[in-house]
Structure 1
């Protein structure tokens, strides 16, 4: 069973398109998806004003994917948003939607709104309401009942902690909480029932779009890393900025999330490099050390990164399935990361595909996978945004 929780903002045309795509390939979704009645609805107009706002910002744009995530969360926070449960009350649906669209028209001159637009949208959502009804559920109740029945639950997050609205490189962040705290608020799960937390981090650092990037590799070096890792945004296709692994940022996200272990992915991408660097500390412009990851972007942009240089291994490791079979230099790199961040690496990715990973298969009660650094889109990557509430039940073994 797949659960789209209360913390998600749901774009119904996009959801139905994905369902249609699955079913056209023989994958039935009937009885396998639940959508929270508390989840907020993301309308097409949210996407339109997302682009209008980005145009207003001109050179200081944030780098949104223009999927409407930010405007939808804005509607939620100012308390005029519409939720999935509103689809069950079509008698008041038009009035609520009118308020939303009128507000957008008053704010953005480029947004054209008429009563005909409202009428057309209401008719569309009447059809959507009928189709979505079998999927709608009180997922807070469902999740907690599943926990009480000791079912296996895997919660998976998109985005990354460094894009968290509170803890990321604000304002170059997403609009919600893709860190571990988002599990509780996004699914209605109590903190005490959360089990192991697995942090997913690349063997190097990437970022899409604008924002500070202390360990960024510019020029040919960054291009080579991007090409080797096929680093292009999953939603927009934009080339990702690439750089050395930022240990300062990684330690920071480990503190925030309380990871039990790390899944170090794409180690194979570094295989052709003669030397590899780790960004181990930041210093102020006057040479004094920074004791923590700075909130002030000015400090971050002006910081000087101190590096440790480690030898490369110059061997293809994509066929390796046991840790002991990795080259010595690769093992040293992994172990140095463990030493610096104080969290063990239990999983290592050495190439695309389910079989190209470390040979650790785990059986956990409640497992949470959290992305660590800014390895996803710069802001919002898909309509089921961020952490907030994507869960799957009946996972008995998890191969990372």
Structure 2
């Protein structure tokens, strides 16, 4: 059985969790492969709303095993708290959550440095969530990080490792004028988290390799989106990890050849959190309306998202970059009631017309969108209560397919599980 990968094709917040939740009912494993608690995945089941930051959203299905892969950076205190929250909602997590011993640990100084550095940037802020993600990845690349496998050591060894890390980083914190972290408090907090997390830590690569050999169904759940990828996104206004399909094999420890189905998730309009170029951003009433109707506020930070029209140039680029085999389009219901709907088909810089997404953010910031304008639709997106798109909505979907060059197989029309049209 091959691996299915779900990735975001915009700046994150595309509604990946909804698509994963729908598809995961057929899965045996759901795997996170990058990022950390900076992700925010929301799933609505009946009248209940679940928000996940570290644990894969597949945990809502009782027969699914959830894996936090080695490409992640994990705040053990946040993970322990999230697991307790999940248990409090009546979900059995025993033998269902496993954490890669290769994943790196987010320590208190990472969070402090992240928030302090972001605050000092003033108007030049990247838009960090303040969860310590960037400093943790910096330590990983600098070969100074702590990995989750350290939680498997004896209590004394673990205590010594934590104290050493905190003491070393306190020297750096003082050098840059930051307050020191308490070694004793960190030891106490991490030992408490260790008691809860130690049974979950394993070499998850072997687990997944064995699952592939046994023809188990594996779904990989991407966080953020391709336009936030550290290499291919709008650098430097990006996340610190690889958020594209190519990062899944590395972050999960899967053979690249095992990934056969790649579903790109796109919102029917565009949003972005934080700073950085955003060619189709609408700073007027239409942008405000999209934000209000779509409840576009960050799951992790609560920050209002910048909103604008669908960018087919960006979508075309990320579809090719990820090798997307099919697209899931979300939040089409939000466009109901607009008199006119715009779709960006190309960019212009002065008199020059370009149909590709620039790699240089300074160039992208100068790009002005060239729009195709179509009539909106007043009628509900569903026809007669059935799971069928109205004529106008179907026209919009077909136009996006043509502009992107990829089949849209799923259209989401609301947060509920049942509000999906299969095409």
Please say whether Structure 1 and Structure 2 have the same fold, judged by a TM-score greater than 0.5: yes
Structure 1 residues 320, 142: closer, same or farther in 2, change over 3 A? farther
- Which position in structure 2 is the counterpart of 1:182? 247
Worse overlay, 97-106 or 266-275: 97-106
- Check if 1:317 corresponds to 2:385: no
Q: CA deviation at 1:94?
A: 3.9
Q: CA deviation at 1:126?
A: 2.7
- Which position in structure 1 is the counterpart of 2:87? 23
Q: For residues 87 and 349 of structure 2, what CA distance do their matches in structure 1 show?
A: 55
Q: CA deviation at 1:220?
A: 1.3
Q: For residues 81 and 205 of structure 2, what CA distance do their matches in structure 1 show?
A: 25
- Which position in structure 2 is the counterpart of 1:303? 367
- Which position in structure 2 is the counterpart of 1:342? 405
- Which position in structure 2 is the counterpart of 1:211? 276
- Check if 1:146 corresponds to 2:211: yes
Q: Is the 8 A contact 2:280 2:311 kept in 1?
A: yes
- Check if 1:331 corresponds to 2:394: yes
- Which position in structure 2 is the counterpart of 1:108? 176
Q: For residues 165 and 292 of structure 1, what CA distance do their matches in structure 2 show?
A: 19
Higher strand share: 2
Q: For residues 102 and 94 of structure 2, what CA distance do their matches in structure 1 show?
A: 21
Q: For residues 290 and 398 of structure 2, what CA distance do their matches in structure 1 show?
A: 22
Structure 1 residues 174, 87: closer, same or farther in 2, change over 3 A? same
SS in 2 for 1:195: strand
Q: CA deviation at 1:130?
A: 2.8
TM-score of the pair, normalised by structure 1 = 0.85
Q: Is the 8 A contact 1:271 1:315 kept in 2?
A: yes
Q: Is the 8 A contact 1:282 1:303 kept in 2?
A: yes
Q: Is the 8 A contact 1:41 1:83 kept in 2?
A: yes
Gaps of 5+ in 1: 361-400
Q: Is the 8 A contact 2:336 2:376 kept in 1?
A: yes
- Check if 1:133 corresponds to 2:192: no
Q: For residues 328 and 52 of structure 1, what CA distance do their matches in structure 2 show?
A: 51
Structure 1 residues 222, 111: closer, same or farther in 2, change over 3 A? same
- Which position in structure 2 is the counterpart of 1:264? 329
Equivalent pairs, count: 355
Q: CA deviation at 1:308?
A: 0.5
Q: For residues 205 and 389 of structure 2, what CA distance do their matches in structure 1 show?
A: 44
Q: Is the 8 A contact 2:222 2:243 kept in 1?
A: yes
- After superposition, the CA RMSD in angstroms is 1.7
Q: For residues 88 and 294 of structure 1, what CA distance do their matches in structure 2 show?
A: 45
- Which position in structure 1 is the counterpart of 2:118? 54
Q: CA deviation at 1:66?
A: 0.5
1:207-237 alpha-carbon deviations (Å, 9 max, x no partner): 1111111001112121111111111111111
After superposing on structure 2, the runs of 4+ consecutive aligned residues of structure 1 that deviate more than 3 Å are 318-323
Higher relative contact order structure (alpha carbons within 8 Å, sequence separation ≥ 6): 1
- Check if 1:193 corresponds to 2:258: yes
Q: For residues 154 and 262 of structure 1, what CA distance do their matches in structure 2 show?
A: 15
Q: For residues 307 and 262 of structure 2, what CA distance do their matches in structure 1 show?
A: 26
Structure 1 residues 308, 14: closer, same or farther in 2, change over 3 A? same
SS in 2 for 1:333: helix
